[in-house]
Amino acid sequence: MASFTNRFFATRTAALSLVSEIAKLQAVCLEDRTSADSNEREAAVVAVRHLDYALERARAATVIPAPSLQVWSENNTRVDRDAYERFLENIQHDGLQYQVDSSLVCNALLDSAELSASHARDAIKQAQQSYTNQGLELTA
């Protein structure tokens, strides 16, 4: 399992960073939804839907959800050892329960997390595109 440690922490750290980025973009969109500018309102309404999906995928990419993923800031996107311990416990449990090699379970979980992160990044691009289509820019 030691060979998966770096991959786990890299995947989880990137996912938590995505969660933080999405929260900032959502805050911008929520403000823009009440803008007097109709182009900003339209872009924000569309972008929020993409960001909701991005947040769902980013949460899935954390591999082991943190106790509270509802509000994230730069200060609490750290990766703790408890998450890795829970990750290992889940792998060992599934490996024993289904009588499969734990490394296969580990690889599958990390592959899924990386794919989820990729989907989150694509959804963020779609949200930004909804602003670009209106001649605006979505930045946090």
Which tens digits make up the pLDDT trace of 53-108? 999 999 999 876 554 444 444 444 455 667 788 888 888 888 888 899 988 888 98
Give, to the nearest 10 degrees, the angle between helix 102-132 and helix 38-60. Answer: 180
Q: How many residues does the structure list for the chain?
A: 140
- Work out the pLDDT band at 126, boundaries 50, 70, 90: very high
Predicted local confidence at residue 54, as pLDDT = 97
d(CA 105, CA 1): 11
Q: How many helices (H) and strands (E) does the chain have?
A: 4, 0
Q: For residue 34, give Cα distances in angstroms to 1, 3, 30, 58, 124.
A: 50, 49, 7, 26, 21
Q: What is the mean pLDDT of residues 10-29?
A: 94
Structure tokens at 104: 């296969």
Structure tokens at 30: 């929520």
Give, to the nearest 10 degrees, the angle between helix 38-60 and helix 5-32. Answer: 160
| Whether the predicted pLDDT of 5 surpasses 50 | yes
